[in-house]
Each structure stands twice: as structure tokens, then as C-alpha cells.
Structure 1
Amino acid sequence: MSQLIKDRRSIRKFKSDKVSNEILDELLEIASYAPNHKLTQPWRFIIYKDEGSKVLANIMAETVAKGPKKKSPEEVKARFESIPVHILVVINEDSNYFVREEDYAATCALIQNFQLAAWERGLGVLWKADAFLTSTEFRNGVEVKPGEKIAALLQVGYPDIIPKAVQRVNISERIKLIDKNIE
């Protein structure tokens, strides 16, 4: 498991190979075993694949067309259509701040579980949490309800290019150890 965690990469270029519904169901089932305070299980998933990727690509193109333009709607549409699977991870936004934070943390653990289980099966994932997820245009297009938050957009497929590992900060630089009583 340690090596799996170290080897996993964010994938930005996917092969066109299809991903089966059975594999996606299995991965989401495994991911759902994330630690979750009081088992609120606040998540739901909207999956766009095959012809459905074109639906999401159109929504993205419309969103980009009405926002600040870094890329053209056509570029965005082509990019989104080329990705085999998109999974929107949607969570309830509890009115209680602490429950909301715990739910988001649990959802992030679920996403990491998903990424690791996918990597183990030869699938790559890109976890996107960009500003477009909060835009009214995008939220309306994907039918996210008031009181819900899009925690992430996961792009999933078989990796075409696997990036090299990036050196991490030496973790000892980020640790403050207190191992005795200070009086």
C-alpha cells in the first residue's frame, strides 16, 4: 500500500479506451469506506461517460463562454469530450459549520480512496477543484441543487502519459514534535 500511495500520479492525458460501469461502481463502493464521522455519507455522484461526456463538454463550453476567457469554448469542449469519464462529487452543505467541515474532509478521503483504488486497477484520475465548479452557469447546467456543493470533478481513464514523480518537501521540515511536559 505504501508504494501504491507513492506511485499514484495525477493524469492529464488519457487513452480513448472506455471504462466499464462495473469498474466505476466497484471503485465508488471501495471509496465509500472513507472515514466519515457519524456516517453521514454526504456524497452523491453524477457520472458523464461515453456520449454523456459530450453533454458535460457542452455545459463546460457554455460556462467558459460566459466567464473570463483563458481558453476558447471550442478548446474546452474538445478537451472534455476527449476524457473517457467525468465524475462530479456532490455533497450536502449542512447548515452546521462543523458537520459541513467533517463532511468535506470525509469526501476528500473518499476521493483519495477512489484515486488509489483506480490506480491499483490501471486507471488514472485527475482531481479538479477549479473555480468553475462554483459558477451558477455550471451548477445549473449539471443540476446541482441549492444546499449542495460540488466537491470535485474527477476525470478518469486509462493513462496515456504518466508524469514523473515530483520531489516532495522533506516531511521533517513540517513536523513539530512535543514529547515531554513543558512547564
Structure 2
Amino acid sequence: MKDVFTTVRERRTIRRFSAAHVEQERIVALLNEAAGLYEAEGTPHWRCLYFGTPESREELTESMTAKVTGSRLGKLLPAPMIELLKKQITGTPAHVIFIAESAGTERERDENYAAVCSIMQTFQLLGWEQGLGMLWYTDPVILSESFYKLIGWREGERFAGILEIGYFDKVPRGRKRTPPERSWTTIGEDSSQLADTTPFSAYNVLRLLNEAVWAPNDGMREPWRFIYVTGDKTEATGKQLFSEEAPSPPFLLVVAREETDPHKQNEDYAAVCSLIQNFQLLAQSEGWHIRRRIPEWSYDRKQCESFGLRPLERIVAVLEAGEPKRYSNSGFRSPAVKITIY
């Protein structure tokens, strides 16, 4: 990536695309590059489907609108409105559907979903540098039986979203983000105001988070919270509570708020994963090496509450600084992207 700081801050969601053709080869190359830039423990399993021809977009449009046209609401809607919706989908040059594959445990399912959401974010950033705009679309209104059949839905899979893709003429104005300091808690010695030269100091973590918060978030919901833990907390509670190796202090817990609506839960989890991916890309650009993982203990409510986790919150990832040889791509091997071309 050419200039991560500039790209993360300047990328925008695009809803109006030009009619210019989007090259299939470019999409595939960007997907492989995005997958290669994802670093976390575990090997995620995900797949995607590409719709880039007029014929395939027509088929996708019919499946995406089946739930509306076949419902009582669809019968009440004026025909021109439905046609406008279809025209918007068919008029978008390219669509890529992303799916997290099924897994045997909750942790593995979350690893798959976190990976595909993070790769989608990197894909958006790489595309932006080449003049491609994207819209991350997850509205449940498209999830019809017809849509599931088209994408070859398998039991246990998790729909991450559709990226609508195209070249564009106008860049929308950006909206302000809330400074991460307002969602920041320190457990142990508070050094957030000290300009420490250590890469993973509170000062430097907050500096990068101020850029990372330019992640996609629907309706400007900012569902994240940050808990920065120093050695004091680890020594006081870590050895007693952790059933596996405790994180190396200091470390950062990235927390997501959990909405009661399942669709919003997924959207918020995806937004937090995108923020984490932004943070990792920014750190890489400065020569840091970040260990990202979803530990088993993060599913133990008692252990999570010892770090001040609130009701309806969950830990999305634990981030630590690490040595390049030990942590870079630790436990992760980027498989070839599973992409189906329509």
C-alpha cells in the first residue's frame, strides 16, 4: 500500500458509480493482495463470488430483489420504484459477495468472520488507491431463498456482505469521527499522556487509533471501546485467571458493543474488525509487528469482567506488540482466495 495513513483517512463509501468497466483481473489481483496483508493467529476459511458481466448482474439483481417483489410490501410499491432499485444494482459495474465459512467452534467461526471482514476492509483501501470506490452492503432484505440458492449457501456459513464496486467521479465529504480517547480505559498505570517512544505505548497506540477510526460504520455507529492493560493488571490477575498463556503486557483489548438486533450485531462486529485491520496496516507502515488473536479465555465472562467488560459487550481481539520472527503471520498461512466467477 502506497500511503496507508492517507488512504485510510481519505477513503469514502461510494454510492454512485460511473459506467466504466471494472476489469475482472484487477479485482482478483486486489483480493489476493488483501488476503496476503491479513495477519492473525489461526487460518481463516472464507470464500467470495464475483458478478461482473451484464448477464450475471441481471441474475444477481433478481435474487437480491426477490424478497421485496415477492412480499406484500413489494405489491404495494409502485413499479417504477422497484425498477429503479433493479437499475441501481444492474448499473453497478461489479459486485463481490463475501462469506465466512462454517467451523466447529464459536471461536473458529469468529476467526473466519473477523478475517473476511478485515480482508474486505483492506480490499476497499487497495481499490481506493486505484480509483475504485465501494459500498459495503448488508441489508437483510436481500437475504431471500433465491439469493441463498444463487450463492450456494451452506449450513453454518456467515454472510459478511456485498461490496458494490466501480469507478467514480465525485468524492463525498467525510464526516467526523469520535476521538478514541473518549472510548479509552487504562487498567494499571495511566501513561496515555506520555510521548513514550516505545511502539506499543499508550501514546502511540492512541495516535494510530485516531487514524484507524476512519473505518466503515453504518449510520455512523461507533461500536468500539478500547481497554489498555499494563503489566500491573497482568501481574495482579492474569496468572490467576488465564487458562492459557497470558498476553504480554502492555496489551490492548478491542471491545464491541452488542446490539440486540442480530443484523446490527454483525455490522458492528465487522466495523470493529475493520478498525483493527486499519490499526494493523498503520502499524506495519511504521515497522511495528502486532500480534492479533481471539483467545479462548475471551469467551469466559468472568475473566472478561475482570477487565471491566460491561453488559452487552464482547472482546473482538487482543492486540500486542511482538518480535517480527515470532509474530509476523504467526500461525497464519494465507490460502489462495476461493473466488467463484459469474
TM above 0.5, yes or no, is yes
TM-score of the superposed pair, with normalisation by structure 1: 0.89
Structure 1 CA distance, aligned partners of 2:63 and 2:170? 27
Bigger relative contact order, structure 1 or 2 (CA pairs below 8 A, ≥6 apart): 1
Letter in 2 for 1:161: K
Contact 1:60 1:73 in 2 (8 A): no
Match of 1:124 among 116, 122, 133: 133
Q: Give secondary structure in 2 for the equivalent of 1:162.
A: coil
Contact 2:64 2:142 in 1 (8 A): no
Letter in 2 for 1:7: E
Structure 2 CA distance, aligned partners of 1:135 and 1:62? 6
In structure 2, the residue matched to 1:164 is 173
CA radius of gyration, larger in:
2
Match of 2:88 among 72, 79, 82: 79
Structure 2 CA distance, aligned partners of 1:142 and 1:69? 25
Change (3 A) 1:12 1:63: same
Structure 2 CA distance, aligned partners of 1:89 and 1:175? 31
In structure 2, the residue matched to 1:7 is 10
Structure 1 CA distance, aligned partners of 2:117 and 2:71? 27
Q: Give secondary structure in 1 for the equivalent of 2:8.
A: helix
Structure 2 CA distance, aligned partners of 1:60 and 1:16? 21
Give 1:179 shift: 3.7
TM-score of the superposed pair, with normalisation by structure 2: 0.50
Match of 1:54 among 49, 54, 58: 58
Letter in 2 for 1:22: E
Structure 2 CA distance, aligned partners of 1:167 and 1:67? 38
Give 1:36 shift: 4.2
In structure 1, the residue matched to 2:260 is none
Q: Give secondary structure in 1 for the equivalent of 2:131.
A: coil
Letter in 2 for 1:38: G
Contact 2:64 2:143 in 1 (8 A): no
Change (3 A) 1:38 1:133: farther
Change (3 A) 1:106 1:126: same
Give 1:133 shift: 5.0
Structure 1 alignment gaps of length 5 or more: none
Structure 2 CA distance, aligned partners of 1:17 and 1:68? 36
Structure 2 alignment gaps of length 5 or more: 190-231, 237-342
Tell me which moved more, 145-154 or 77-86: 145-154
Match of 2:159 among 150, 173, 176: 150
Contact 1:48 1:55 in 2 (8 A): no
Letter in 1 for 2:86: K
Match of 2:30 among 27, 42, 49: 27
Structure 2 CA distance, aligned partners of 1:16 and 1:93? 36
How many pairs align?
182
Tell me which moved more, 67-76 or 132-141: 67-76
Structure 2 CA distance, aligned partners of 1:75 and 1:141? 22
